[in-house]
């Protein structure tokens, strides 16, 4: 069993985001390409965003620190520390209203089986 302090990791990644020219930093907490479930801690400096992209499967954004806004088409949802945002199954973007850290959890959609 592994134990990870999300609070400490968020603090570390937030410092990295503040130093980075991109204004962001990320660390895969669990999973990866070989797993269905993937959890990634993402830190964004104030005003930075993840540009619009497709949803790779069912996903949630758990705000650990700060405030973020998730945009999908004409809709948007704001979240602050402790909030869980269900990511819609459509193109979307995420912007940091202030310096923020989030835990992105994705359950990738299964690939269709050949011959099915």
Please state the pTM of the whole predicted model: 0.87
Q: Is the pLDDT confidence value at 18 over 80?
A: yes
State the average pLDDT over residues 24-40: 91
Question: Span 19-26, mean pLDDT?
Answer: 96
The proportion of the chain whose per-residue pLDDT surpasses 90, expressed as a percent, equals: 77
Where do the domains of the chain lie, and which CATH numbers do they carry?
A: 6-108 (2.60.120.10)
User: What is the tens place of the pLDDT at every residue in 43-97?
Assistant: 999 999 999 888 777 999 999 999 999 999 899 999 999 999 999 989 999 999 9
Structure tokens at 21: 């020219």
């Amino acid at each position: 069993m592994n134990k990870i302090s999300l609070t400490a990791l968020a603090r570390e990644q937030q410092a990295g985001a503040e130093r980075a020219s991109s204004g962001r930093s990320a660390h895969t907490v669990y999973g990866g390409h070989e797993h269905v479930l993937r959890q990634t801690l993402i830190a964004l400096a104030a005003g930075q965003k993840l540009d619009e992209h497709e949803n790779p499967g069912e996903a949630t954004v758990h705000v650990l620190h700060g405030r973020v806004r998730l945009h999908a088409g004409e809709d948007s949802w704001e979240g602050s520390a402790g909030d869980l945002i269900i990511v819609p199954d459509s193109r979307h973007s995420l912007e940091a209203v202030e310096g923020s850290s989030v835990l992105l959890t994705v359950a990738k959609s299964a690939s269709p089986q050949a011959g099915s």
